[in-house]
Structure 1
Amino acid sequence: MAVDYDIVIIGGGSGGLVVASAAAQLKAKVALVEKHQLGGDCLWYGCVPSKSLIEAARLAYQVKHSQQFGIYTDAVEINFAQAMGHVQTVIATIEPYDSPERFRGLGVEVIFGSGQFIDQRTFEVNGRKLTARAFVIATGSRPAIPSIPGLSEAGFLTNEQVFSITERPESLAIIGAGPIGCELGQAFHRLGSKVTLISSREQILPKEDPEAAAIVETQFISEGIHLIKNSRVEKVEVIEGKKYVSMGNEKIGVDEILVAAGRSPNLESLNLEVAGVDYDQKGIHVNEKLQTTNSRIYACGDVLGGYQFTHVAAYQASVIIPNALFFPLKKVDYRVIPWATFTDPELARIGLTEAEARKKYDDIYVLKQAFADVDRAQAEGKIAGFAKIITRRNGEIIGAHLVGSSAGELIHEIVLAMSNQLKVSALSGIHVYPTLSEVNSKAALLLTKQKYAQNTRLQNLLAKIFNFLRQV
């Protein structure tokens, strides 16, 4: 049966755009369906605006605390509207790379509209029936909104609205202490809002190494961010224009509420049952080749649940391209997936946690190097944090957790080593002095030191050898 396209991509976020660009450059006939804006959450509501706002907040904090370097300023004045203007300028600068014009120039047919599958081989949008050899679902996710009495009536922000506001809320309650809540909470606090961060668990950033998360929590407390842990919001009410958030015996009044309580996949309107695609509330089910239960339909990105990162969506797209266009032979490998949280200090991790490693192996070594012992960190006054590299006795790296200045950059040396199955000793090579990257090389050397400290026979032998050599 003849079809209209080689591949039809549903969703113009990171994963969908990578598939569309590569497929078009391979001379495949490509259609890209997007119901709103190309670029997805990352460009408009996620990575790009949040990191732009975080940079403005970082500068405000540094100026305010510059006296540690002998630099004194008048009271810091923050123009919140201008800070948000910087965010919008960055979005506008990057947007042309994800523009419809660019993709049409590559040969992609870009179709704006909301559609659905009408059978296992046809997707309908704007009254048009699109058939293809393969389909890719890359519709992303949206903020999950908890069912809290009074929340909708009081009104709230999510990451989809927060970067468009131009007036700083004097007080802000954030529901959720994961990466989004913690990044934006610290940024808004540094830009002048009084922030209360509400966590349903004892640990903020619950997916991170507990010791690493504790470093960030200490920083938050030192800055004056109010933390409420082990609490769930039970109701929200508006009293005399103020929003009151209730948790057990505690009740706080704020000007605005930001909901950062996780993500939900965008699936409901696709009519996946007709297409023969299985899914649940967490996302679409796929195999190692990223095929759904309909082998002609693939999926990538946030719509799968799991690793909800732009770089993972792009990686999944690179797996789908050869599978969908040629032969389905390539499989995903999630062994080496890094991620970072851009609080100050930053967190970055890859592989197993210490607890996971100890459950799986009985020859674990934990190599922990403090930033305080790195000269560059001392020079910059950024000594909070550490690098923790988890290895087996033979030097195999099975996990790493960094918390400290530039952790999101420093993790990549370890990513390269793990990707190429290099031993931890590979990290101990020459590093420029003084740089923060020495935290990795110093940590790597700890394996040899720990092994030597445990080997009393070797220590005694060496002592005898050196004693003998001193006598001759």
Structure 2
Amino acid sequence: MKNIETDILVIGAGSGGLSVAAGAAQMGARVVLLEGHKMGGDCLNYGCVPSKALIAAGKSAHAQAHASRFGVADVVPDVDYGAVMQHVQDVIATIAPNDSVERFKGLGVKVIQEYGAFISGSEVQAGEVVITARRIVIATGSSPLVPPIPGLDTVPYLTNETLFDLRERPEHLLIVGGGPIGMEMAQAHRRLGCAVTVIEGAKALLNDDPETAAIVLDALRGEGVEIAEDALASEIRGTAGAIEVETRDGRVFKGSHLLMAVGRKSNVDRLNLTAAGIETTKRGIKVDERLKTTNSRVYAIGDVAGGLQFTHVAGYHAGIIIRSAVLGLPAKAKTSHIPWATYTAPELAQVGLTEAEAREKHGARLEVVRHEYTENDRAIAERKTAGLIKVMVVRGRPVGASIVGAQAGELINLWALALANDMKMSQIAAMVAPYPTLGEVNKRAAGAYFSPRLFDSVWVKRAVRAVQRWLP
């Protein structure tokens, strides 16, 4: 058995773990990184990267089939599903070197390609190596949650970890789960020529603002995606190519392939956390606001910490760890400024409080300002007018923003900046946006906050008339 001592031990080479390892090593700390599976984790290999590559292929096919509104003849796209999936793999391969063992060794990180398990509060065994570390960061991420639905264990099914291995296009894809993953994959596959049915036990896109989510769901239904809500799967049966999902109310949905997209579970099973005195919750590892576990030497970041499960959250957490565990500076994580987006068409994005959450928290102090995409000249020119922005404002400061429409995932960045820095609506209104851009919807939303104060105020009108009388 070989023994290694280090300053920082990172368990998991996904987005968060890689960021901690790279930052700590470049600042001079001794770093050991453990990864028993693929470098880059879920995001690179099974999540953000391949799904967005597939969505891009679907967007291209959809554009061919809907070009006549621009004066260009519609054509039926000739989709080679195998070639589409090769495009997905090419994208992964292009990005992979950034997350590779070679790159991190070049940064000074000792990379061990084994799973790790605690044997004490400061020691982790990985294969034939025992690592003793001053600080340990658990960044093992999450995996697809597969619920114990009767019959599921007898039927071939896909998750996001196996979906991108397909090379033949599904004739009819059944998707159990109407969250972001389910809806993104539903639209992408529909645009690539598959029949698609989404089966959701509650409401689709439940965690988003209902008004903005409804616009997305209407768009998907308009493209031919069947979305069954309040349809809790109670039994699954069939064989490859002929699968049936029966719901609690007796509905039966038939398809050729089944994708399970009902959520995620934290990857903690291999870690032997009890040996290190680390407690867990139903969602993942228990952490405080500094991301410390119940073992003061050990941190948990990203999905495994049981909070918001987004790649950019793992990256944000990594920055907290660099400040705290590497530089010894005080640092605490918060969630009020964390944005998220669903990359359907139209896109759906959120930061801070939704309208319902803001009304519950702030009551009569809340003002909601809106601006429709139908009033944006760039959206009109590109025929992408389905959408709106609404900003929740309390005493002149935004506390949340919901956007649905083209490039909503890009537009939400401004409001994430505003919330992170406690900015005022007047600062947003002072921005000059180039014309014509979709970004003008942000400025117009800020303007909508001030319009009634300027144009509907009796006092303003009186003041203007007085000024006009005195001006030479």
Shorter-chain-normalised TM-score: which range? over 0.9
Query: 1:59–1:3: structure 2 CA closer, same or farther, 3 Å change rule?
Result: closer
Show the counterpart of 1:160: 161
Instruction: Name the SS for the 1:284 alignment partner.
Output: coil
More off after superposition, 120-129 vs 70-79? 70-79
Show the counterpart of 2:452: 450
Instruction: Name the SS for the 2:135 alignment partner.
Output: strand
Mapped to 2, the partners of 1:353 and 1:413 lie a distance apart of 16
Alignment of 1:362-441 (within 5 A): 362-392=364-394, 394-428=395-429, 429-441=431-443
- Give 1:215's aligned amino acid: I
Show the counterpart of 2:238: 238
More off after superposition, 304-313 vs 423-432? 423-432
Show the counterpart of 2:7: 6
Mapped to 1, the partners of 2:99 and 2:4 lie a distance apart of 27
Mapped to 2, the partners of 1:285 and 1:266 lie a distance apart of 13
The CA deviation string for residues 393-428 of structure 1, in whole angstroms up to 9 with x for no partner, is x31010001100001111112222222222112222
- Give 2:209's aligned amino acid: D
Instruction: Name the SS for the 1:57 alignment partner.
Output: helix
The CA deviation string for residues 270-319 of structure 1, in whole angstroms up to 9 with x for no partner, is 11011011102201111111111100011101001211111110110111
- Give 1:437's aligned amino acid: G
Instruction: Name the SS for the 2:370 alignment partner.
Output: strand
CA shift, 1:360, in A, is: 1.6
- Give 1:31's aligned amino acid: V
Instruction: Name the SS for the 2:379 alignment partner.
Output: helix
Mapped to 2, the partners of 1:329 and 1:276 lie a distance apart of 24
Mapped to 2, the partners of 1:240 and 1:373 lie a distance apart of 49
1:321 and 2:322 correspond: yes
Is the 1:177–1:260 Cα contact (8 Å) retained in structure 2? yes
Mapped to 1, the partners of 2:377 and 2:7 lie a distance apart of 56
The CA deviation string for residues 115-170 of structure 1, in whole angstroms up to 9 with x for no partner, is 21111111011122110101110000000001111112111000000011111100
CA shift, 1:454, in A, is: 6.4
Is the 1:289–1:328 Cα contact (8 Å) retained in structure 2? no
Show the counterpart of 1:41: 42
Instruction: Name the SS for the 2:333 alignment partner.
Output: coil
Mapped to 1, the partners of 2:74 and 2:147 lie a distance apart of 43
CA shift, 1:463, in A, is: 8.7
Show the counterpart of 1:61: 62
- Give 1:438's aligned amino acid: E
Mapped to 2, the partners of 1:119 and 1:328 lie a distance apart of 26
CA shift, 1:74, in A, is: 3.5
What's the TM-score once normalised by structure 2's chain length? 0.95
Alignment of 1:64-103 (within 5 A): 64-103=65-104
Mapped to 1, the partners of 2:401 and 2:10 lie a distance apart of 35
Query: 1:358–1:59: structure 2 CA closer, same or farther, 3 Å change rule?
Result: same
Mapped to 2, the partners of 1:216 and 1:188 lie a distance apart of 16
Mapped to 1, the partners of 2:89 and 2:239 lie a distance apart of 33
Mapped to 2, the partners of 1:299 and 1:74 lie a distance apart of 50
Identity %: 44
The CA deviation string for residues 158-202 of structure 1, in whole angstroms up to 9 with x for no partner, is 00000111111000110001000000010001101100011111x
Alignment of 1:17-416 (within 5 A): 17-201=18-202, 203-238=203-238, 242-247=242-247, 248-327=249-328, 329-361=330-362, 362-392=364-394, 394-416=395-417
Mapped to 2, the partners of 1:333 and 1:32 lie a distance apart of 26
Mapped to 2, the partners of 1:450 and 1:389 lie a distance apart of 15
Instruction: Name the SS for the 1:358 alignment partner.
Output: helix
Is the 1:185–1:195 Cα contact (8 Å) retained in structure 2? yes
Mapped to 2, the partners of 1:354 and 1:87 lie a distance apart of 37
Query: 1:322–1:448: structure 2 CA closer, same or farther, 3 Å change rule?
Result: closer
More off after superposition, 441-450 vs 237-246? 237-246
Gaps spanning 5+ residues in structure 2: where?
A: none
Mapped to 2, the partners of 1:217 and 1:400 lie a distance apart of 19
- Give 1:98's aligned amino acid: D
Mapped to 1, the partners of 2:453 and 2:360 lie a distance apart of 21
Aligned residue pair count: 466
Is the 1:136–1:298 Cα contact (8 Å) retained in structure 2? yes
Mapped to 2, the partners of 1:29 and 1:469 lie a distance apart of 73
CA shift, 1:29, in A, is: 1.2
The CA deviation string for residues 317-347 of structure 1, in whole angstroms up to 9 with x for no partner, is 1111232234262111322111111000001
CA shift, 1:249, in A, is: 2.2
Instruction: Name the SS for the 1:451 alignment partner.
Output: helix
Is the 1:296–1:324 Cα contact (8 Å) retained in structure 2? no
RMSD between superposed Cα atoms in Å: 1.9
The CA deviation string for residues 202-242 of structure 1, in whole angstroms up to 9 with x for no partner, is x3111111110000011011111101001111111116951
CA shift, 1:107, in A, is: 1.2
